[in-house]
Amino acid sequence: MPDATAERLRQEAALWAVTLADDAVDDATRAACDAWCALDERHARLLAEMRRMWESVTPDTPAPQPARRGPSRQMLGALVLLPCLLVAGAAMPWQAWLADERTGVGEIRHLRLEDGSRVALNSDSAIDIDFSGSVRRVQLLRGEVFVEVAHGDKPFAVVDRDGTAQALGTRYAVRREADDTLVTVTESRVRVQPLDGGDDRWVDVQAGQQVRFDRRGVTTDTVPAAPGGLAWPQGRLVFDDAPVAEVLRQLGQHRPGLLLADDEALGALRFTGVLPIQQSDAALALLASALPSLRVSTLSPWLVRVTATAPP
């Protein structure tokens, strides 16, 4: 079959593999997939290939660990006396370094909090935990956190420099970015309140939706969350017809060193599929196998360049 047709069918098979891997997949979806497979013998063969690929890169999800406390407050008090911490702008990096919980680049950590809530920390992230007041408070200092909130007598909120995302249900993620904060809700709803917005300026985000905000207010309309956008707690990145440059950008966030993408050469290349977060070299190999024009050059363990050959 022509190259364009082969690539399209591989992309469709990859998307079905992602869909079927969801524990919540229903009978109607399975029937639709069966119908797709029945259309052409190549469909079933490619789907089986993609499902084998999925299983081969599915990492074991580590069991949640009890949250361990960071450096003592006495140590923190001593450190803030150091002259280097008095330099303007130096507080936040030190705050993240001394956080109660933090992860390195490429690391994902699962925690169980004292109230039974579960937390997943994305790559290069940091949080402080404080349940001593009237609110169960998780302060996001850097990166991204996903929470499954246990029922309790006190409200539960994730707080960062831009404001508060208070749980009105159980499951949501908060990601701190350069200019704003992204909240994505997977179950029930979350009340987002910007820091400088006042008590009457808030927005409720429903399950399946996401919103961006900064300390002054909501910066985007509430929109549907991207399918598979919160697969990272399970150690995967899920893409649906995504530009390869964006795929590489996300992989680079989970990989130490530099992952350089030749955006001009990559052009309009797109990818649908699933890649493992904590096996970065394997992820690049899978990407290259799905897109034969891709060229991955490992210049050193800390420097990888990705480009593409011109179509014939």
User: Which secondary structure element, helix H or strand E, spans residue 140, and what is its range?
Assistant: strand 136-142
Within-domain flag for 9: yes
Say whether both 250 and 308 belong to one domain. yes
In a domain, 49, yes or no: yes
Q: Note the pLDDT of residue 54.
A: 66
Tell whether 229 is covered by a domain: no
Q: What is the pLDDT of residues 2-26, one digit of tens each?
A: 466 777 787 788 778 767 876 678 8
**C-alpha span between 238 and 53 (Å, rounded):** 13
Q: Does 130 reside within a domain? A: yes
Taking only the tens place, the pLDDT of each residue in 27-68 is 999 999 999 999 999 999 988 987 887 666 555 444 455 555
Model confidence over 57-99: pLDDT tens digits? 555 444 455 555 555 444 444 344 444 433 433 335 656 778 8
Residues 190, 73 share a domain: yes
**In this model, does residue 202 exceed pLDDT 70?**
yes
* 150 and 39 inside one domain: no
**Count of H-run helices and E-run strands, the chain:** 8, 21
Same domain, 9 and 123: no
Q: How many domains does the chain have?
A: 3
In a domain, 90, yes or no: yes
Q: What residues make up the domain containing 290?
A: 235-312
CATH assignment at residue 211: 2.60.120.1440
- Residue 103 sits at φ, ψ, to 5 deg, of -125, 155
Domain check: are 6 and 96 in the same one? no
Provide the CATH number for the domain around residue 286: 3.55.50.30
From 16, 34, 56, give the residue that closes a domain: 56
Pairwise pLDDT comparison (137 vs 11), residue with the higher score: 137
φ/ψ of residue 283, rounded to 5 = -60, -45
